Amino acid sequence: MFGGGSIQLGRVFGIRIGVDYSWFLVLFLIIWTLSDYYKDVAPGSNAFLLAVVSALLFFLSILLHELGHAWVALRNGIPIEGIDLWMFGGVAKLGRDSDSPGVEFRVAAAGPLVTVAIAAICFGLGVAVSSGADALDSAQFSNDVTGATTAVLGYLTSINLLLLAFNLIPAFPLDGGRIARAIAWKITGDRNRATRFAARLGRAGGWLMVGAGGLLYAMTGDLVGGVWLAIIGWFLASAARSAEAQADFAGRIEHLRVADVMDREPVAIPEDWPLADAEHQFFLRYGWPWFPVIDASGRLVGVVSREAVDSVPAPERATRRVGSVMARDDGSSGLRVQLDEPLEALLGQEGLTRLGAIMAVDGEGVLRGVVTVDAVRRALHGAVPA
């Protein structure tokens, strides 16, 4: 949906955290705006430093919000490709869609619950370090606040409440829209139909925000606020339109399964074979850059590449086994997919993108076929109406 190329900041619990270039622009604007605010509400303090700290803590709040989504997704077996912060907040990129309305609801609701907790903690700390009236004034952006700590905590309280209210708008792909999709999915039993419903809400909500931005400028003269609201609305409407188109397309291929498009005669190398035999009977014979590797029972255990074989000195290849140089598959490496998975589940698979193919296995992990990018393209091409 959002994001794309981003700068990696690090990893949290193994999840890649990145920032889009647009994030730096928003960071600058927030710091610039808050610097004037803190000059008024916390006289005598270093307004610029308070603004920098507040901006970074705000983005930390967004990161924690997205980590809430990610944590619940991982607990429900959904892989996380990463979290990106960008000009309109953050996005946790799920490796696949939810497989039930209950999972969809829990993943969507996790982020707002984290935001509620952050706002409550900030307000509670504000009350603890100042009078209750000061904390309330700060949360309302009143200019009567005194004290740097109270001002920062009040800002974090108010901005997280605003973030909560925005995310709970029932417009896909916002959290509120995903919650609405989960409810519609539960009622109708049809995920694609529910997605179309939520996406239409998203498009309507987005264009209402565009109109609200114009109205804000006309009534108050706030050009920056009006334009910003209109841009957010336009992005929301565009994302919802894309989600609706994707749901329509998914509806045309929902009858197709992995088993329908796979090559049912996969060529695989036993893991106990000498590298010399694998080289001559597989790599030199077929000319392929890699092969799946199976154990004695036919279960997929990994993938071996030509580079891995070449990395072993030629005199040692007669005694070294394939299993010693293969990339082992632990079930979560993106190299495999179940036979009965819908074709749609392949579209975001990392292994399909990285290797150009993905291995299809049965419930016991036995290799039953290989699905190539070309096979997926042919199936998708056949689903597009002429």
SS3 readout for the chain: CCCCCCEEEEEECCEEEEECHHHHHHHHHHHHHHHHHHHHHCCCCCHHHHHHHHHHHHHHHHHHHHHHHHHHHHHCCCCEEEEEEECCEEEEEECCCCCCHHHHHHHHHHHHHHHHHHHHHHHHHHHHHCCHHHHHHHHCCCCCCCCHHHHHHHHHHHHHHHHHHHHCCCCCCCHHHHHHHHHHHHHHCCHHHHHHHHHHHHHHHHHHHHHHHHHHHHHHCCHHHHHHHHHHHHHHHHHHHHHHHHHHHHHHHCCCEHHHHCECCCCCEECCCEHHHHHHHHHHHHCCCEEEEECCCCEEEEEEEHHHHHCCCHHHCCCCEHHHCCEECCCCCCCEEECCCEHHHHCCCHHHHHHCEEEEECCCCEEEEEEEHHHHHHHHHHHCCC
Q: What pLDDT, in 10s, does the model give residues 356-383?
A: 888 889 988 899 999 888 887 777 776 5
Q: Is the pLDDT of residue 302 over 80?
A: yes
The reply to whether 58 falls in a domain is: yes
The reply to whether 33 falls in a domain is: yes
Statement to judge: residues 266 and 230 lie in one domain: no
Quick check: 216 and 229 in contact, CB under 8 A?
Answer: yes
The answer to whether 81 is a known catalytic residue is no
Statement to judge: residues 241 and 319 lie in one domain: no
The reply to whether 325 falls in a domain is: yes
The reply to whether 1 falls in a domain is: no
Statement to judge: residues 245 and 272 lie in one domain: no
Statement to judge: residues 281 and 223 lie in one domain: no
Cα 358 from Cα 374, distance rounded (Å): 12
Average pLDDT over every residue of 304-325: 93
Sign of CA dihedral 99, 101, 107, 108: positive
Distances (CA, A) of 136 to 9, 22, 40, 145, 373: 35, 32, 16, 9, 57
CATH of the domain at 377: 3.10.580.10
Q: Is the pLDDT of residue 291 over 80?
A: yes
Quick check: 268 and 291 in contact, CB under 8 A?
Answer: yes
pLDDT for res 274:
94
Cβ atoms < 10 Å from Cβ of 152: 24
Domain boundary among 253, 287, 303: 253
Q: What pLDDT, in 10s, does the model give residues 234-273?
A: 888 888 888 777 776 666 666 678 888 888 889 999 999 9
Statement to judge: residues 279 and 247 lie in one domain: no
Q: What pLDDT, in 10s, does the model give residues 109-166?
A: 999 999 999 999 998 888 887 765 555 555 444 444 457 888 888 889 999 998 899 8
The reply to whether 2 falls in a domain is: no
CA angle 125, 169, 224 (to 5 degrees): 80
Statement to judge: residues 197 and 269 lie in one domain: no
Cα 367 from Cα 380, distance rounded (Å): 24
Split into its structural domains, the chain has a count of 2
What domain range is 67 assigned to? 7-253
Cα 9 from Cα 16, distance rounded (Å): 8
Q: Helices 132-139 & 101-129, crossing angle to 10 degrees?
A: 130
Distances (CA, A) of 53 to 40, 213, 275: 17, 29, 57
Cα 363 from Cα 340, distance rounded (Å): 9
Instruction: Give pTM, 2 decimals.
Output: 0.66
Statement to judge: residues 228 and 278 lie in one domain: no
Domain boundary among 253, 276, 294: 253
Q: Is the pLDDT of residue 26 over 70?
A: yes
Statement to judge: residues 57 and 191 lie in one domain: yes
Cα 332 from Cα 306, distance rounded (Å): 23
Domain boundary among 253, 271, 287: 253
Single out the catalytic residue among 66, 271, 279, 344: 66
Q: Is the pLDDT of residue 180 over 50?
A: yes
